[in-house]
């Protein structure tokens, strides 16, 4: 979901800078948020085979109930929305398309590989476990790790992870609606 969201930077910048597609959309009653969600959904289509494979492998490997599936789905949707909206905002900062591709790779690395605890439980951080709430991918990882039984977090910790994810969604929405350059100067 992170890669799907960050890929939006390149596509949105390409549509705006090279194809001038965004200028056509601006002339319609479409809002920046609706445009962003449409672009983000198109990115999910490309990642759908991976998502399905992940779901099948997870179903074969672990025993999870319906509530766990709903928790995982909700946290992944929140991650997708937050990253996609922030990515759309970021795409409006570029004036040349050639810079976007490097930024997408760096952002995917910075948010998907480096932050704690994406690939290990937050309990490994000791007393600094709260750092996981500062990055949307880490908060989502905590929910998934708890749902599949990698580690068990308290209901409060999982609740805070959801609050963190929702806060990132709000930040992304505000950036998209209030700060992003919707109309070309």
The pLDDT tens digits of the residues spanning 117-131 come to 888 888 888 888 888
Omega within 30 of 0 (cis) for the link into 117: yes
- Confidence at 59, pLDDT banded by 50, 70, 90: confident
Candidates 161, 133, 4; CA nearest to 72 is 161
> How far, in Å, CA of 147 to CA of 159, rounded?
13
Binned at pLDDT 50, 70 and 90, residue 177 comes out as: very high
DSSP string spanning 39-63?
HHHHHHHHHHHHHHHHHHHHHHH--
CB 84 within 8 A of CB 36: yes
Q: Where are the domains of the chain?
A: 2-179
């Amino acid at each position: 979901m992170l890669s799907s969201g960050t890929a939006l930077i390149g596509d949105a910048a390409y549509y705006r800078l090279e194809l001038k597609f965004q200028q056509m959309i601006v002339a319609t009653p479409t809002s920046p948020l609706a445009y962003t969600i449409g672009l983000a959904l198109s990115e999910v289509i490309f990642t759908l085979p991976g998502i399905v494979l992940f779901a099948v492998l997870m179903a074969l490997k672990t025993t999870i109930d319906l509530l766990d599936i709903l928790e995982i789905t909700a946290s992944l949707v929140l991650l997708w929305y937050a990253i996609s909206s922030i990515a759309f905002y970021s795409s409006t900062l570029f004036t040349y398309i050639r810079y976007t591709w490097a930024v997408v790779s760096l952002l995917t690395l910075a948010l998907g590989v480096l932050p704690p605890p994406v690939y290990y439980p937050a309990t490994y951080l000791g007393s600094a476990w709260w750092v996981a709430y500062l990055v949307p991918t880490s908060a989502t990882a905590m929910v998934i790790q708890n749902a599949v039984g990698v580690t068990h977090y308290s209901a409060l910790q999982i609740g805070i992870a959801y609050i963190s994810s929702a806060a990132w969604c709000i930040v992304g929405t505000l950036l998209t609606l209030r700060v992003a350059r919707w109309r070309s100067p």
